[in-house]
Structure formats: C-alpha cells, structure tokens
Amino acid sequence: MKGAGAEKFWERFDKERKSKGFSIKSITERLDLSYPLLITQRSRQIYPSVTTACKIAKILDTTVEYLTTGEELVNMAEESRGAQGANQKLIPLDVVLAMSHSSEEDMKLVRRIYRLPAED
C-alpha cells in the first residue's frame, strides 16, 4: 500500500540496515522474499505487508513502530507484577526521557496516562 509515510519508512529502513551492515540482497534472502519485489516497493515508496514489515523490524533489531512512525518505544515492565516482562508497557522514548526531568506532579500525570504503577 502506498502511503504518505512510506518514504520515511524506507529512509529509516536504509538507515537501520546500513548501520547494521546489511545489504538489501542479504535482507531479502533472510526474509525469503523476492529481491525485485522489495526493490520495487522501496523505489515506488510502497509499504511492505504487515508480515514483511514485522520480519524486517526483527532482522534490523528495531520495531515496526520505529520504521513506520520514527517513534522509538521503550518497554516499561510493571515491577509490582513480579516476573520480568510481565505486563509490559510500551512508552515513546521521548516521553521516557522527559520523565527523567519532570516535576513530581508531571510524573503522576504521565504514570496515570500510561497506566504505570505509582512509585513507592
């Protein structure tokens, strides 16, 4: 599907694959996808299928959210639940960074918005 953000998707794709040292050919081989198909989608600024986008994100060790929106998400596990990874919350990276410089009142608001546990 062609979309307004597809150009940015492919820019982020190129940035990530180059930083990891992958060629487009090596990615298509790992995806078990036709090289001409990926090149066509990339050159015509067409989003890949959801399945392909998920596989691309996994290969590039990033998220589909980052590839599609440019927004990095951070896992914020609820520590009160015990087991690591249980009930994970995905929070935009910029929000997490802003939280480190926030007032106590702002922190309460952010925790309520993202339904994070209150600090003890």
Give CA–CA dist 85/79, Å, rounded: 9
The token duo for 81 is: 């639940």
Give CA–CA dist 53/43, Å, rounded: 16
Residues of the chain with pLDDT below 70 are 1-4, 73-102, 110, 114-120
Q: What pLDDT was estimated at residue 6?
A: 86
Q: What pLDDT was estimated at residue 102?
A: 67
Q: What is the DSSP string of 72-95?
A: -EEEEE-GGG-STTTTEEEEEHHH
Domain boundaries, the chain: 6-69, 73-113
Q: What pLDDT was estimated at residue 62?
A: 87
Q: What pLDDT was estimated at residue 90?
A: 62
CATH number belonging to the domain at 6-69, selected among 1.10.3720.10, 3.90.1150.10, 1.10.10.60, 1.10.260.40: 1.10.260.40
Tens-place pLDDT, residues 97-113? 555 666 777 777 767 77
Q: What pLDDT was estimated at residue 22?
A: 95
| Residue 68, amino acid | T
90 and 73 Cβ atoms separated by less than 8 Å? yes
